[in-house]
């Protein structure tokens, strides 16, 4: 037979799957599954990184590296938390409009300057010493370093959300940490899944968390996963939803 691959306790590329009880959460039966599935990882992770891991406060300054679905969820969460200055960083200019709609006060392309992006950001920060919170949503270790070095001297926090390629290592100068910055990571935004998923679904159903903008591509059929993954690699896709059967 063929090898069956498993990922993150669920492995959902199938019409039916067998899960451990701990991997299951009971949600409102009236929930729109097309939207609820977004809380399986990306959107929930971005929101949780802001609300749980870093606890962004009202009036704070934020930088988000990478404006895919996770990054936009960070933007959305930061705006909801009351952040007053939110900068989005991406090389894809097509993502700037939606980022600004969700809460970015400005967006920049790192290719527009010959300076390192962290230097550009620090120079344009409200205090001239960096940002209160920075988030890497790219999985690029060089960007992770830039995010740390763009965090505010003395108290800035930088959260690593993006997953780097296997074997990659992080490096920075110890001075960046000795001067008070904090480097942390997150898995699923710090949520306790069985409690959090039903709660997040309810918030969406009440209109407290908007999700429609994340679904840019839809596919049908068990064999459509490759098309969905190809769409994600295209750069204009935020989240692709594959419907296996009518519901």
Per-residue pLDDT of 18-44, as tens digits, reads: 888 888 899 999 999 999 999 988 999
Q: Which tokens sit at 139?
A: 């999985």
At how many degrees (to 10) do helices 141-149 and 117-124 cross?
A: 30
Give whole-number Cα distances, 155 to 22, 116, 158, 177, 178, in Å: 37, 21, 10, 10, 11
Q: Among candidates 43, 89, 102, which has minimal Cα distance to 63?
A: 89
Residues 239/214, Cβ–Cβ less than 8 Å: yes
CA–CA distance, 98 with 148 (Å, rounded to integer)? 25
CATH architecture of 54-188: 3-Layer(aba) Sandwich (3.40)
Banded model confidence at residue 247, pLDDT cuts 50, 70, 90: low
Q: How many CB atoms lie within 10 A of CB 42?
A: 22
Taking residues 173-193, what's their average pLDDT? 94
pLDDT tens by residue, 139-181: 999 999 999 999 999 999 999 999 999 899 999 999 999 999 9
Alpha helix ranges (H) inside the chain: 33-36, 42-48, 69-81, 96-102, 117-124, 141-149, 175-178, 193-205, 225-233
Would you list the domain boundaries of the chain? 54-188
Q: pTM for the whole thing?
A: 0.93
Rounded to an integer, what distance in angstroms lies between the CA atom of residue 104 and that of residue 87? 6
Q: Is residue 196 over pLDDT 70? A: yes
pLDDT at residue number 222:
81
3-class SS string, 136-175: ECCCCHHHHHHHHHCECCCCCEEEECCCCCCCCCCCCCCH
């Amino acid at each position: 037979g063929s090898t069956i691959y498993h990922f993150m306790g669920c492995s959902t590329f199938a019409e039916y799957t067998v899960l451990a009880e701990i991997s299951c959460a009971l949600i409102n039966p009236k929930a729109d599954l097309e939207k609820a599935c977004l809380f399986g990882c990306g959107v929930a992770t971005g929101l949780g990184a802001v609300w749980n891991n870093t606890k962004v406060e009202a009036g704070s300054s934020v930088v988000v590296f990478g404006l895919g679905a996770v990054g936009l969820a960070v933007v959305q969460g930061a705006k909801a938390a009351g952040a007053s200055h939110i900068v989005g960083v991406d090389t894809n200019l097509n993502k700037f409009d939606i980022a600004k709609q969700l809460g970015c006060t400005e967006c920049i392309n790192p290719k527009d300057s010959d300076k390192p992006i962290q230097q550009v950001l620090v120079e344009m920060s409200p205090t001239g010493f960096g940002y209160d919170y920075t988030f890497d949503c790219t999985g690029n270790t060089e960007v992770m370093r830039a995010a740390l070095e763009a965090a505010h001297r003395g108290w800035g926090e930088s959260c690593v959300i993006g997953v780097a390629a296997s074997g990659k290592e992080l490096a920075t100068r110890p001075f960046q940490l000795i001067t008070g910055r904090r480097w942390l990571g997150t898995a699923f935004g710090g949520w306790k899944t069985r409690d959090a998923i039903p709660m997040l679904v309810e918030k969406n159903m009440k209109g407290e968390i908007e999700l429609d903008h994340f679904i840019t591509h839809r596919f049908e059929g068990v064999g459509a996963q490759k098309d969905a993954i190809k769409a994600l690699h295209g750069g204009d896709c935020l989240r692709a939803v594959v419907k296996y059967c009518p519901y």
